[in-house]
Structure 1
Amino acid sequence: MQRQLHTLTGPGYRDLLNRIQRGIEKESLRVTADGRLAQTPHPQSLGSALTHPSITTDYSEALLEFITPVDTSTTRTLETLADVHSFVCRKLDQELLWAASMPCVVSDDNSIPVAEYGSSNVARMKTVYRYGLGHRYGRLMQTIAGIHYNFSMPADYWQRAWQDAGEPEPLQDYITNRYLGLIRNFHRHSWLLIYLFGASPAVCASFLSGRDQHGLQPFDERGRTLHMPHGTSLRMGDLGYNSEAQKGLTVCYNSLDNYIHALRDAIMRPHAAYRDFPCGQDGNYQQLNDSLLQIENEFYSTIRPKRITRPGETPLNALQRAGIEYIEVRCIDVSPFTPLGLDVEQVHFLDTFLLYCMLEESPPCEASERSLQAGNLLTVVNRGREPGLELQSATGPQPLQTMADELLDNMAGIAGLLDDTHDSTAYSAALMEQRARTADPERTPSARILREMREREQPFFRLAMDYSERWAQHFRERPLAAAVEQRFEDETLSSWTAQRDMEASDTLDFESYLARFYAQYRDL
């Protein structure tokens, strides 16, 4: 680590570190004025969810997803995300954006409308995939929102780092292997992000109606809220994006080939539990296939290696073709305490954390270590703020606070380097705030949620609703430059044109389209 840091202080690296690239994908449920899941279609005024560059949907018609372009400026990225929120909030009439990860009042699966994208083959594939998710895991799970943080180093950085390393392998392989090292270290240390930024220790009881084996405790006498007293992020545990079926899927990040072939086999191999859901019989598509995974995106993970795909190309084929281009962090909760669900301080720490994971030595990961990592993550999800909590390390149990402090100490040099790069103290300040949270768990967002619920004598639903109303007013009143508003209006119109063009250009029937798509996996 020290050698890597010393290298980064050399001539020319300052400018390269100033061009770290990031992008944010933020999900928010549309809810009615009384806090119910919106049953209305994706608003026409927001453009086509299939083709709009900034505004789309995830699982449900009601689950909006906002996307920022790749940018080197933290400030610009967050301003762009705020502009999207401002535009959308002005278009929603009486609806609001839900300001938390765990959902609003929900009833059964039938009350959760699956996203629709039009009649093209691409659109139909997206919708059928979502029907498959609903059959396999239930639609309720798909109402949970999160934030994805995309991170990459500029091409010039990799060229310089590769040359300084003595050009040990082809440049594409060098970049891929460095990103794989980052991913392995992320799995080793991601429990820290769950502790620091987890913001889902409680859930509206309606989310678990009819389910008794959840292990949560009533928060109030009326049982309107269920919670884990020391929990941090229920979204990342057994209630959220977790899958019993996938627990037997071993995905290794020691090489790109290992990763590609593990997912390829899961996509190509039938899974008995999914055999009864129709996948094309007599034109009835309730899932894309009956394999363990329909496509790569079904694999639930806290971080993904990514490459932008060509039209019609699968993500795995893109990775095999040209290696890893960036990584996508997927374990970030939506915080109700900030208008965007995250803030600049959190982004500064994420950059510090990810750069640390990239620069730290990253030995290959074995099955025993993967089991240890999964255990630590689940422990922090359910009990992260428990006094005296211990996690497992390579040398045995250690207090969470000791392990967290050691990690944060190791990041100090990187925070200082980023401060120098940006002529600021923002990165060290962000690190100091995380030190304060490890010293005092009451400073974490998960603790604040439970504390405010107690102080206000409110259930989770009411607390989240209050913040949803507050941020809706904030964004409706926030100035939006005329040129920015016009750009969104133009993108809305052009997105509908693009969707119609896609629908008109289809030459294959859906069955043939899927056959051609899945044929790509056989070539891997």
Structure 2
Amino acid sequence: MSHFLEQRLQQLGTDSFRAAITGIRRGLERETLRILPDGRLAQSDHAQALGSALSHPLITTDFSESLLEFITPAQSSIEVTLQQLADIHKFSVSHIGEEQLWPGSMPCFIRDQDEIRLAQYGSSNVGRMKTLYREGLKNRYGSMMQAISGVHFNFSIPTEFWQQYQQQLGNSDELQDFISTQYLHLIRNYKRYVWLIVYLFGASPVMCKSFLQGREPKYQFQSLGKGSIYLPYATSLRMSDLGYTNNAQSSLNISYNSLPDYIHGLRQAISTPSPQYQQIGVKVDGQYRQLNGNILQIENEFYSTIRPKRTTQSGERPTCALKRRGVEYIEVRSLDVNPFSPVGISAEQMRFLDLFLLYCLFEQSPLMTAEQQALTEQNLRKVVAEGRRQNLELLDAEQPRLMLDWAEQIFADMMPIARWMDEAHGADLYQATLKDLYLALLDPAKTLSGRWLNTILSQQRDHGCYALELSANYKQQFASQPYGFYQQTQFEQMAAESLRQQQQVEQADSLSFDQYLHDYFVDL
């Protein structure tokens, strides 16, 4: 352990710090495709019984009409969060007829990308803008990569902790400025070490061949069964350059050295024309094709493994919210759907993320040059494609280093944090989590990607057949288990209220769509 980290943990060893850290709040966003019992993509509309995808607080859609997104509110209990997510699954599954939920990140068999219907949000300006943004994504990148699913982990540290931490560090900034700076400190370290998350929790080493849609593959895939292809040492094809990437973004060099730097970089990308995307056109023959012809249409198009976030107000752009009110929480975006969990993520993963993010906060985090940030991306790509390869080397400050040795050091550094968290919670779950996951360092077959690939290889079966079997089992499981946090009537009330809210938004519109778009981007 570095002297810096050791000293920092000594400073936190008081009852008041331990009491404050138990207030960590977490929220989940789980994406999942609706599929038919034969494994094909569902073509039906978003079920009205689930409410409005525009305004429902817990159940919405992502890129396509068939890509559900389940959202849990911020909670300080991991168990409560997972129960809320399970209840959302149960209610949703019971209102989609014979359809099931796809349990993995890489999509099911899709014959043609035109089967992927854009998500619809009604006739309001804000609803039309959401669909148009997706039209732009389709025209820029194609729809196939937008059918990929993930899990986003939202994480915030309580104000009580930040107040004590600022005093302990002798910092005299405005509290919110201090908080924003500390979250950026955490994010830089996350970028340095995110390869460890992908090694442990990547769960997409194999995919359906239909995903390529005749494109020349960028990797030397091996074939399995009738239609599966895989990389023998891969961890997360979702996180590879087969997934949602934007080559034009590679030159952006969005900086995480300060919040103003981050905001400036994103705004510059949203206002910088892209010759490639301008060729698509914005409004052609009276029909919009994308929001604009710039490198990014809006902030959400920027692909990153982690984002600083602030809850937006109605019609407010994310960078405006960050500039006005600072960082409120962070969104971890590097998690594959865990196919071995009915809800796509486990309590063990959430506890590990707690420890990993706190390690990133407490360890030294120097500012990063563009070259150093490119190095972190290089390490990530290597672990994505061959993370389970024996004696894999990464670059630590441009020096080759065995990934396993580096990972073991990070685990050793996290153990005192695990003891501290267990003391705060009066249990031993965090230390147990580290010990369990340490076994996956010693044996790559115990990682999620290793377990998935070994299962289908040992049985010589298609990836899609195994996923479909899990999908059917999970549907039965949700049907048979009782609600644990919400009640059926609460979901019915939320659905009805969300439909009323959508109608109110549509009736309140007073601007033309053209004027609405102009006003939305006017403060760039």
Q: Tell me the TM-score range normalised by the shorter chain.
A: over 0.9
Residue 452 (structure 1) aligns with: 455
Tell me the alpha carbon deviations over residues 225-250 of structure 1, each in whole angstroms, 9 at most, x when there is no partner. Answer: 11111000000011112221211111
2:214 counterpart letter in structure 1: G
Q: Report the CA distance between 1:340 and its aligned residue.
A: 1.1
Q: Alignment partner for residue 77 of structure 2, among 73, 79, 82?
A: 73
Of 100, 112, 117, 2:116 maps to: 112
Q: C-alpha separation between the residues in 2 aligned to 1:8 and 1:280?
A: 56
Q: How does 1:27-426 map to 2 (within 5 A)?
A: 27-220=31-224, 224-394=227-397, 396-426=399-429
Deviation at 1:214, TM superposition (A): 2.7
Distance 1:121 1:436 in 2: 52
Q: Is the 8 A contact 1:314 1:520 kept in 2?
A: no
Moved more, 267-276 or 477-486: 477-486
Looking at structure 2, the residues matched to 266 and 209 of structure 1 have their Cα atoms a distance apart, in angstroms, of 30
One-letter identity of the residue aligned with 1:299? F
Contact 1:216 1:226 in 2 (8 A): no
C-alpha displacement at 1:217, in angstroms?
1.6
| Aligned: 1:494 with 2:504 | no
- Match of residue 436 from structure 1: 439
Task: Read off the aligned partner of 1:267 and give its amino acid letter.
Answer: I
- One-letter identity of the residue aligned with 1:416: R
The alpha carbon displacement at 1:282 in A equals 4.8
Correspondence 1:9 to 2:13: yes
Among 21, 27, 30, the alignment partner of 1:26 is 30
Deviation at 1:368, TM superposition (A): 2.2
Question: Following the alignment from structure 1 to structure 2, what is the Cα–Cα distance between the partners of residues 471 and 137?
Answer: 32
* Matched residue SS, 1:35: coil
Q: What do the CA deviations read for 1:10-40 (whole angstroms, capped 9, x no partner)?
A: 2311221110011000000000110001110
Q: Structure 2 length normalisation: TM-score?
A: 0.97
Q: Is the CA contact 1:278–1:284 (under 8 Å) kept in the aligned structure 2?
A: no
**CA shift at 1:223, angstroms?**
5.1
Corresponding letter in the other structure for 1:315: P
Per the TM alignment, residue 335 of structure 1 is displaced from its structure 2 partner at its CA by 1.4
Q: Is the 8 A contact 2:56 2:495 kept in 1?
A: yes
Aligned to 1:509: 512
Q: 1:372 to 1:85 in 2, by over 3 A?
A: same
The gaps in structure 1 that reach 5 residues or longer are none
Count residues in correspondence. 520
- Greater shift, 282-291 or 504-513, is seen at 282-291
- The alpha-carbon distance between structure 1 residues 207 and 178, as it changes in their structure 2 partners (threshold 3 A), is same
Opposite residue 237 of structure 1, the aligned amino acid is: S
RMSD between aligned alpha carbons?
1.2
How far 1:116 sits from its partner (Å)? 0.3
Is contact 1:19–1:153 with CA below 8 Å preserved after alignment?
yes
Distance 1:4 1:119 in 2: 53
CA deviation vs aligned residue, 1:110-159 (integer Å, no higher than 9, x gap): 11000000000110010000000011011000000000000011111112
What SS does the aligned partner of 2:181 have?
helix
Q: 1:218·1:224 contact (CA, 8 Å) conserved in 2? A: no
Residue identity over aligned pairs, in percent, reads 45
8 Å contact from structure 2 (residues 233, 385) kept in 1: yes
Q: What is the rounded CA distance, in whole Å, between the counterparts of 1:483 and 1:443 in structure 2?
A: 34
Give a deviation string over 1:435-469, Cα, whole Å, max 9, x none: 11111101011111111102222111111111111
Partners in 2 of 1:311 and 1:482 — Cα distance?
28
Offset at residue 270 of structure 1 (A): 1.1
**How many angstroms does 1:483 deviate by?**
5.9
Question: Contact 1:116–1:123 at 8 Å: present in 2 too?
Answer: yes
Give the CA deviation at 1:276: 2.5
Give every structure 1 segment of 4 or more consecutive aligned residues whose post-TM-superposition deviation is greater than 6 Å.
none
Aligned residue type for 1:248: S
CA distance in 1, matches of 2:430, 2:162: 23
Q: Report the Cα distance in structure 2 between the residues aligned to 1:191 and 1:141, rounded to whole angstroms.
A: 21
Superposed displacement of residue 165, structure 1: 2.0
Letter matched to residue 511 of structure 1: D
**Does the 8 A contact of 2:282 with 2:289 survive in 1?**
yes
Of 309-318 and 156-165, deviating more is 156-165
Uncovered stretches (5+) of structure 2, i.e. residues with no partner: none
Give the Cα–Cα distance (whole angstroms) in 1 for the partners of residues 99 and 498 of structure 2: 23
Contact 2:84 2:484 in 1 (8 A): no
Counterpart of 2:69 in 1: which secondary structure? Answer: strand
Alpha carbons 1:200, 1:235 under 8 Å: kept = yes
